């Protein structure tokens, strides 16, 4: 059924597609009483007006963060049933962005003029200008207050071009109804039926099927440039390019940070402020560690014969920046170091007591140590990225040691904490060795395997210490129990999968082609 519907759509599209020369001829010979309905985005304007408007948000970094938050939360899926989903996405982004950045309405008037002069469709504009009696109407699912300032500055000689676009507050309703309903409500069925429609969007098929002269054409010069695509945001590359969405929250904060808290903050006399300080330091560390991911893809694209790159790599390649992460890292590191010193008793009351010379010296020393760690991580990752893949196996554990033990340049842990961190390093190294040398199909169980290995290695280390010291009290430590519970909960799916797939030897299909 679905295949039949797709074929029907393709047949309709093929019938309504037209060459640019035919479009120009239709415009030039159109009578005064024949409305010419022209789509705006990527048709008479060779960019997407909504994305350009959102790209004009200032300050850019704050605008980029807002759009990223909206992209992550997807509030358009929270709307009532008829209007929720992707059809409401642009409307909600525009409304929220305008509310938070109201000065954009003023800045847009100037920006719109520059865009009109740079991205007007000269082929269509020249054709319109050659027919002084052309009745041109811009019909768009873009927003009227965004489109109108651009259209005003397009070099079109015809006066009184009407614009039918989506309203600001009711744009979600306009988009839900569709362009056909919008233009018929404004012009009437008979006028629309005898119109010429020029558009690049198959979403306009209802309108194209309704009018007497439909023109579906994709302009080669047209291009959609997504808003803020060239703005660097910390951890965006990990989420959108290198890993799956949610990786930073689940793995870096939910796994790495939580293990570090169990290993270190657990021992602090002020565990909450200590954990908060480690959170800031974790963000600082990953600003620099993420640079290694970016560089890895750049090096792969440049030197490898068959680079394995994410499908999002080309889209977000412009966001790669190897220097701005250092600024962000410093922004996160400063409060992290101050809170860490406070939690360790070096600063009794940061809010009520001015910092003395000794406290400033401690903060300065910690800052130098932290900077030295980040520089070492960056250099190690650079070496890793520029070596062959088999040799990388032996550099990888150094990166993992930095990832888990690097924080100990500023804080401390105990034997139990050391063992959980060692288990983290070894478990990830084993998986990486399998990935490089075996190239097996294990990616779906990657995280569960790591957690199971982590639990087993930690258990072996705990057992070894217990036997070696003849001290069984470590086995009953609350810290040990919490770590085991944590590891078992995160890796619980793999044992269940092993049990579920277990079968007698005579039913085994291993090696059968």
Contact predicate 339/273, CB 8 Å: yes
Contacts of 133 (CB under 8 A, 6+ apart): 31, 32
pLDDT surpasses 90 at 51: yes
pLDDT surpasses 80 at 509: no
pLDDT reported for residue 510? 43
CB-based burial label for 403 (10 Å; 0-12, 13-18, 19+): buried
Q: How many CB atoms lie within 10 A of CB 109?
A: 11
pLDDT reported for residue 165? 94
The mean pLDDT value for 92-109 works out to 95
Q: Which of 188-197, 222-231, 321-330 has the lowest mean pLDDT?
A: 222-231
pLDDT surpasses 70 at 314: yes
The mean pLDDT value for 178-187 works out to 92
pLDDT reported for residue 480? 83
pLDDT surpasses 80 at 52: yes
pLDDT surpasses 90 at 43: yes
pLDDT surpasses 80 at 356: no
Alpha carbons within 13 angstroms on the beta-carbon side of residue 509 total 2
The mean pLDDT value for 304-319 works out to 81
From CA 376, how far away is CA 374, in angstroms rounded? 5
pLDDT surpasses 70 at 212: yes
pLDDT reported for residue 1? 39
The mean pLDDT value for 101-123 works out to 94
Token reading at 443? 């990616």
Q: Which of 4-18, 170-184, 257-271 has the lowest mean pLDDT?
A: 4-18
pLDDT tens-digit profile of 458-506?
Answer: 777 887 677 656 677 877 788 888 888 887 777 777 667 666 765 553 4
DSSP H/E element including 35: strand 35-38
Mean pLDDT of the chain: 84
pLDDT reported for residue 494? 66
Contact predicate 197/215, CB 8 Å: yes
Q: At what angle do helices 89-100 and 60-73 cross, to 10 degrees?
A: 140
Q: Which of 43-52, 262-271, 287-296 has the lowest mean pLDDT?
A: 262-271
pLDDT tens-digit profile of 222-281?
Answer: 988 889 888 888 998 888 888 888 888 888 998 899 989 988 888 888 889 999 999 999
pLDDT surpasses 70 at 442: no
Tell me the CA distances in angstroms from 66 to 62, 63, 77, 94, 227, one per residue in order. Answer: 6, 5, 17, 11, 11
Domain-by-domain residue ranges, the chain?
A: 2-216, 232-365
Phi, psi torsion values for 224, nearest 5 degrees: -95, 115
The mean pLDDT value for 360-382 works out to 93
Nearest to 184 by CA among 37, 68, 76: 37
Do you know the residue count of the chain? 513
pLDDT surpasses 90 at 401: no
pLDDT tens-digit profile of 59-96?
Answer: 999 999 999 899 888 999 998 888 888 889 999 999 99
Alpha carbons within 13 angstroms on the beta-carbon side of residue 261 total 21
Q: Which residue has the higher pLDDT, 446 or 91?
A: 91
Contact predicate 140/165, CB 8 Å: yes
Provide the CATH number for the domain formed by 2-216 in this structure.
3.40.50
* Cα dihedral across residues 266, 268, 272, 274: positive or negative: negative
């Amino acid at each position: 059924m679905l295949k039949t519907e797709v074929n029907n759509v393709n047949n309709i599209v093929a019938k309504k597609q037209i060459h640019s020369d035919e479009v120009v001829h239709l415009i030039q010979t159109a009578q005064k009483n024949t409305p010419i309905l022209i789509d705006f985005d990527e048709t008479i304007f060779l960019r997407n007006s909504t994305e350009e408007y959102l790209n004009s948000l200032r300050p850019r970094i704050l605008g980029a963060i807002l759009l990223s938050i909206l992209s992550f939360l997807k509030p358009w899926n929270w709307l009532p049933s008829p209007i929720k989903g992707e059809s409401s996405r642009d409307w909600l982004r525009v409304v929220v962005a305008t509310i938070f950045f109201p000065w954009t309405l003023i800045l847009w008037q100037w920006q719109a003029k520059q865009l009109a002069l740079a991205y007007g469709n000269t082929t269509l504009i020249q054709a319109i200008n050659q027919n002084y009696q052309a009745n041109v109407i811009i019909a768009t699912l873009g927003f009227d207050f965004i489109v109108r300032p651009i259209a005003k500055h397009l070099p079109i000689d015809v006066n009184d071009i009407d614009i039918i676009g989506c309203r600001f507050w009711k744009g979600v309703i306009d988009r839900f109804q569709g362009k056909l309903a919008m233009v018929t409500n404004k012009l009437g069925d008979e006028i629309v039926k005898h119109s010429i429609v020029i558009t690049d969007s198959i979403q306009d098929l209802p309108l194209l099927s309704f009018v007497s002269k439909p023109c579906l054409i994709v302009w080669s010069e047209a291009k959609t440039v997504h808003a803020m695509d060239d703005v660097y945001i910390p951890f965006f590359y990990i989420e959108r390019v290198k890993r799956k969405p949610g990786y930073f929250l689940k793995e870096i904060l939910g796994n790495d940070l939580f293990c570090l808290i169990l290993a270190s903050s657990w021992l602090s006399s002020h565990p909450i402020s200590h954990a908060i300080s480690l959170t800031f330091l974790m963000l600082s560390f990953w600003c620099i560690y993420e640079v290694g991911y970016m560089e890895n893809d750049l090096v792969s694209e440049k030197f490898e014969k068959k680079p394995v790159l994410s499908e999002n790599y080309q889209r977000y390649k412009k966001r790669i920046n190897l220097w701005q992460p250092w600024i962000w890292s410093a922004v996160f590191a400063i409060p992290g170091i101050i809170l860490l010193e406070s939690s360790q008793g070096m600063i009794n009351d940061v809010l009520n007591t001015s910092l003395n010379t000794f406290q400033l010296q401690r903060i300065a020393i910690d800052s130098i140590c932290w900077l030295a760690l980040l520089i070492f991580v960056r250099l190690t990752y650079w070496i890793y990225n520029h070596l062959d893949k088999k040799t990388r196996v032996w550099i990888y554990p150094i990166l993992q040691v930095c990832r888990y033990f690097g924080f100990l340049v500023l804080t401390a842990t105990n034997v139990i904490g050391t063992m959980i961190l060692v288990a983290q390093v070894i478990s990830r190294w084993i998986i990486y060795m399998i990935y490089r040398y075996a190239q097996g199909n294990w990616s779906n169980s990657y995280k569960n395997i790591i957690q199971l290995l982590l639990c087993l290695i930690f258990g072996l280390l705990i057992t070894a210490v217990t036997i070696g010291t003849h001290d069984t009290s470590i086995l009953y430590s609350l810290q040990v129990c919490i770590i085991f519970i944590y590891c078992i909960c995160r890796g619980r799916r793999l044992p269940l999968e092993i049990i579920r797939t277990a079968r007698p030897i005579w039913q085994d299909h291993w090696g059968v082609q």
